[in-house]
Chain A
């Protein structure tokens, strides 16, 4: 067994690169981040013929080596830095068979770096349908490499690709274009100064402002003398280079590709007529959103009830079977309800990611960008802001990262600032439990009131995002050049495997990411709720017995009185009472106040906190929802969760910026604390005011 081969998968967006990655690695993959930046790094292991192993790195999709975003610069940085541990022994450029001409541009650039490069022509199943025929022998000869014809959909060509990777040492490294033709004098002087360096590499460093690998950087520092060319000159040369590359590609394709348009059937045109129609396009878009929310609400009810009941009986089991003591009580009242508070949202989050993956995979998302651009512009946003706003319904963190392809800084900043208003999956737990408690059941036109309330909350989220964007657009004084280029990919039937992997990966990330915080907070809360300072807490039994001596209570009632007295005098009870004056105008009691406070770390903590607070001191094991429904005001005996307080809470959660991870990501993407702090303060104030108004109006 030799050493592991480093393979880099490179390709334009929408070429099915990720499908190829999934086909090569299966579930043998891990997703992380590049050090110091939040670009997703996907890598995996693939077994090749003859027992060779390959480390496969799925690089972010890019149209060329001239990087225009952080994601794209990852690609060029790696390819220029021979000392990087991931530097590829062989590159695999994945192309879409329908778009060979444009896809080959990137191929020629990588080939010119003199890295062995395999061309993987994907989506071969569409060739006959599109009237395309290829002469592989000629293409291989003209492009100076080996070609694998792949169909990830039909699972064809993957084995051939693996064989080619294993044999990468046989690949020629002759470049496609002699870069000096675009300006012979300039490149001659460059060559004289750096006789050892590859000219194209030098050119890439000169023509763009990317950050390249540490060690190579030192060698290139002397290059500064050469940066005499103006930006306009550089751009003219880049244009010339691009034209030269296309000349080469056109020449190759003239010999090796035949497209018979009479055989081509174009589903795209027919679908686009409807899906981007000025009326039907929007109707369909809204219908799709409605369907998604209905699905999240209706379909996940059964598994959620099941999980809720399972954890309730698990707590009961722990209480009954284990010897009583602080440990059992921590387990039954802190840890188990805490974990239950996370696990219960798996069905909904999985559904949400499932639908978002479908929209992305099918190519529909680009149509939404196209439809929405003009509508978003008066708000200072771009059509591309729609993708972060929609994926913000899953989680604001990837959504904020998805703003990177927005070219204008002002549009991008506004999108980042307003994205946390969209209803992320962490708000879902809060909404769902409150809706179940305070919104009556019943249906109108087949949609339940509860589902419609949820839809309304989502609309409020989007509305708040747009409103805030409008205000920011009018007040932020940033001038930045905006331009807008969106590829409209072909419609594709989503591959089940890709969708499934996305759903599993994202759900796992949610459960473990949020789960850790929730579990930790649950344990701390249990401690704070189970212990208290001073006489009142320690002598609860005696005090309560004396107080109610005349009332002739049953033993159960007496125990309950003692438990609630203890809770009120525990550490958390004292803290809760301290903040009560601030929150009682919103209709919340001190227990809800604690939950609101703890959920500043992460919204989904709310339910877990209530679950922990309510289970401490209650004997009978019950579901979280039933416990909340039973809560009554100590004085008035009216239910704590009624229409007014429920709506006030939902609105509070709709507007408040309660997610430390989002703040951290915004800090990273905007390079400082200024914008995340602005977000935190203004959103919190807005949430308080709106919740206050709602409660005072409804009560």
Chain B
């Protein structure tokens, strides 16, 4: 099973490998959520949702339901 952004743990860094562009708003792509870019989980809200991420230097928060459409590869633990 492939790893999605919803599985990332706090402090972990990862590289985005693929995004399902149909499910992801263009705005998120434009904010740097693109294959090859780095992503790090900064903080999770209570109940583990939404997720506060650092994607390619941009700090943003997205919901878990969006994060499952972004495939990643964990690069360090």
Residue positions of A touching B, CB distance < 8 A: 63-64, 66, 68, 99, 101-102, 105, 232, 235-236, 238-239, 242-243, 246, 268-269, 272-273, 276, 278, 366, 369-371, 373-375, 383, 407, 483-490
A contact patch SS:
helix
- Nearest CB in chain A: distance from B58 CB, A: 5
A68 to B46, CA, bound (A): 29
**0/1 string, B34-69, CB within 8 A of A gives 1:** 110100001101110110100011111111011000
Contacts of A373 in B (CB 8 A): 45, 49-50, 61, 63
Give the docked Cα–Cα distance between A370 and B56 (Å): 19
* Smallest Cβ-Cβ distance to A207: which chain B residue: B26
Give CA–CA (A582, B67) in the complex, Å. Answer: 55
CB–CB B31/A487 < 8 A? yes
Q: How many of chain B's residues have a CB under 8 angstroms from any CB in A?
A: 32
Which residue of the partner chain A has the closest CB to B36?
Answer: A243
A278–B46 touching, CB < 8 Å: yes
Q: Tell me, in angstroms, the Cα distance from A278 to B65 when the chains sit together.
A: 20
Query: If the complex has contacts A102-B58, A239-B34, A369-B61, are A276 and B47 also in contact, measured as CB distance less than 8 A?
Result: no
Q: Is B22 an interface residue (CB 8 A)?
A: yes
**Which chain A residue has the least Cβ–Cβ distance from B53?**
A488
Chain B contacts to A: CB under 8 angstroms: 19, 21-22, 25-32, 34-35, 37, 42-43, 45-47, 49-50, 52, 56-63, 65-66
A374, B46: Cβ atoms under 8 Å? Answer: yes
Beyond A276-B52, A373-B50, whether A68 also contacts B59 by CB under 8 A is: no
A272:B52 contact, CB within 8 angstroms: yes
Pick the contact of B57: A63, A101, A269, A273 (CB < 8 A): A101
Q: Are A370 and B30 also in contact (CB < 8 A) when A99-B57, A276-B45, A488-B61 are?
A: no
Known: A235-B22, A383-B50. A63 touches B43 (CB 8 A): no
**A370, B26: Cβ atoms under 8 Å?**
no
Known: A272-B42, A370-B52, A374-B47. A407 touches B32 (CB 8 A): no
Tell me if A246 and B34 are in contact (CB < 8 A). yes
- CB of B69, distance to nearest CB on chain A (Å): 10
B29 cross-chain contacts in A, Cβ below 8 A? 238-239, 242
CB-based contact A485/B31 at 8 Å: yes
Do A66 and B46 contact each other (CB < 8 Å), given the known contacts A370-B61, A407-B25, A484-B66? no
Of A369, A373, A383, chain B has the most CB atoms within 10 Å of the CB of A373
Having A235-B22, A371-B46, A484-B61, one finds 11 other A-B pairs with CB under 8 Å, namely: A64-B26, A102-B56, A236-B21, A238-B26, A239-B26, A272-B42, A370-B61, A484-B66, A485-B61, A485-B62, A488-B52
Q: Do residues A374 and B30 form an inter-chain contact, with CB atoms below 8 A? A: no
- Contact: A374 with B49, CB < 8 Å? yes
Q: How far is the CB of A520 from chain B (nearest CB, A)?
A: 44
Measured CB to CB, the closest approach of chain B to A531, in angstroms, equals: 61
Q: How many Å lie between the Cα of A412 and that of B31 in the bound state?
A: 23
A66 and B30 form a contact (CB under 8 A): yes
A102 closest partner in B (C-beta): B58
Is B59 in contact with A489, judged by CB distance below 8 angstroms? yes
A489: chain B residues at CB < 8 Å are: 59
Most chain B beta-carbon neighbours within 10 Å: one of A63, A366, A487, A488: A488
Question: For A486, what are the chain B residues with a Cβ–Cβ distance below 8 Å?
Answer: 50, 60-62
Q: Please measure, in the bound complex, the distance between the C-alpha atom of A272 and the C-alpha atom of B42, giving whole angstroms.
A: 9
In the complex, A369→B62 CA distance in Å? 11
Assess whether B27 is in contact with A101, with CB atoms less than 8 Å apart: no
Q: What are 29 A-B pairs at a CB distance below 8 A?
A: A63-B30, A63-B31, A66-B26, A68-B26, A102-B58, A235-B21, A235-B22, A238-B26, A239-B34, A268-B59, A272-B42, A276-B45, A369-B61, A370-B52, A371-B45, A373-B50, A407-B25, A483-B28, A484-B50, A484-B63, A484-B66, A485-B25, A485-B28, A485-B31, A485-B61, A487-B59, A487-B60, A488-B59, A489-B59
Residues of A within 8 A of B63 (CB): 373, 483-484
Closest-by-CB residue of B relative to A366 is B61
How long is the Cα–Cα vector from A373 to B60 in the complex, in angstroms?
A: 13
What chain B residues lie within 8 Å of A236 (beta carbons)? 21
A residues in contact with B50, CB < 8 Å: 370, 373-374, 383, 484, 486
Measured CA separation A268–B32 after assembly (Å): 20
Give min CB distance, A237 to chain B, whole Å. Answer: 10
- Whether A101 pairs with B56 at a CB distance below 8 angstroms is yes
Cβ of A379 to closest chain B Cβ, rounded Å: 15
Nearest to A369 among chain B residues (CB) is B61
Residues in A whose Cβ lies below 8 Å from that of B49: 373-374
